[in-house]
Amino acid sequence: MSHAPNQPTLRDVVAAANIVHRYLPPTPLHHYPMLDRLLGAEVYVKHENYQPIGAFKVRGGVNFMAHLDAESRRRGIVTASTGNHGQSMAYAAQLFDARAVIVVPENANPIKVEAMRAYGAEVVFHGADFEASKRHCTALEQEAGLRFVSSGDEPLLIAGVATHTLEILQTQPDIQTILVPIGGGSGAAGACLAAKAINPAIEVIAVQASGAPAAYLTWQARDWRSAPSQTFAGGLATGEPFMLPQRILWGLLDDFVLVDDDELRVAVRLLLEKAKTLAEPAGAAPLAAALRLRQRLAGKKVALILSGGNISPAELRQCLDAQIPEAIQL
């Protein structure tokens, strides 16, 4: 693309909400007293794991497909994904009778791949990681005349996913802090856009895996940085940043926290125990960060965006075996 895509605004987010809510009901925002005790704060969980694909990204997929003209839908889209974005585009493509080709890494989560196929997408395995899959999209775009959809640098996706934060603040307008996971950055950028436009005093904190810190390093440097991707959290395993979300984050994000895989495993287990809900590792990242930031969050009204629940049985077994540190046991 020869020019930088436009940064969405609150007006775009509200317009997206009008589209998204035709197809997806608002997800619950539940309060859990056991999490309050754990964190010393008033804690609300935004249940994006209750979406039909089990993840927040479906909001962006629906908003994007709704804007696509009939000819583009017929020819189809191509995109790369480690799982949830691919499911989102597959679900939305089925909704709008469009063709979807999803390129996934060779080691992609089989549950997520099965879901993409169930929604009618064509799944292409290519490359050892997300970056290799993304590069292969360029070839398919040219060969087959497909419309490439970036999982991060696409304003319609960001405006769509930002509707999760719009819903949070419609339900609980006096939320003081929002913690949101970041892989590519659309969800975190969306949270910033919505929250800061509604109330600039709301603190937005992004959370990434320390084993895949590209977005964190880029945010720190205010410049493009890549990094190895060595985390078991598929939703956080992004080795290169997306610059449209980054530019939004540079202007609006309050803080950025890295958590390790052990902290993510503990957080998955705690959400199961204390909130009776299933989170994938990326979805548990906000709780992992909140546990680390307990002193800072004490007494505040906090929202954790549980971005998704697409966890494999093998990953879940690891999390159930996680030892909860004495420091955070009740």
Domains of the chain with CATH codes: 10-56+156-328 (3.40.50.1100), 58-152 (3.40.50.1100)
Average pLDDT over residues 54-58: 96
**Which has the higher per-residue pLDDT, 68 or 81?**
68
Task: Mark whether 57 is an active-site residue.
Answer: yes
Q: How would residue 2 be classed by pLDDT, with cut points 50, 70 and 90?
A: very low
Tell me which residue has tokens 């997800």.
27
Q: Tens of pLDDT along 9-49?
A: 999 999 999 999 999 999 999 999 999 999 999 999 999 99
Average pLDDT over residues 100-122: 92
Tell me which residue has tokens 């539940």.
30
Q: Name the amino acid, one letter, at 305.
A: I
Average pLDDT over residues 186-205: 98
Average pLDDT over residues 244-266: 98
Question: Residue 71 contacts by C-beta under 8 Å, 6 or more apart in sequence?
Answer: none
pLDDT of residue 237: 87
Q: Is the pLDDT reported for residue 175 higher than 80?
A: yes
Average pLDDT over residues 52-67: 97
Q: Strands 177-181, 301-306: parallel, antiparallel or unpaired by DSSP?
A: parallel
**Catalytic pick among 81, 150, 186, 307:** 307
pLDDT of residue 198: 98
Question: Phi, psi at residue 308, to the nearest 5°?
Answer: -170, 165
Q: Average per-residue pLDDT in the chain?
A: 95
Number of helices and strands (H, E) in the chain? 16, 10
Q: Is the pLDDT reported for residue 297 higher than 60?
A: yes
**Catalytic pick among 2, 46, 57, 226:** 57
pLDDT of residue 327: 82
Task: Mark whether 301 is an active-site residue.
Answer: no
Closest CA to 40 of 291, 310, 312, 323: 291
In the chain, the percentage of residues whose pLDDT exceeds 70 is 98
Reduced to 3 states (helix: H, G, I; strand: E, B; else coil), residue 128 is coil
pLDDT of residue 219: 98
Q: Is the pLDDT reported for residue 255 higher than 60?
A: yes
Give the number of other Cβ atoms within 10 Å of residue 33's Cβ.
10
Q: Tens of pLDDT along 112-170?
A: 899 999 999 999 999 998 888 999 999 899 888 999 999 999 999 999 999 999 999 99
pLDDT of residue 3: 53
pLDDT of residue 111: 79
Q: Give the range among 112-121, 211-220, 270-279 with minimum mean pLDDT.
A: 112-121
Q: Is the pLDDT reported for residue 1 higher than 70?
A: no
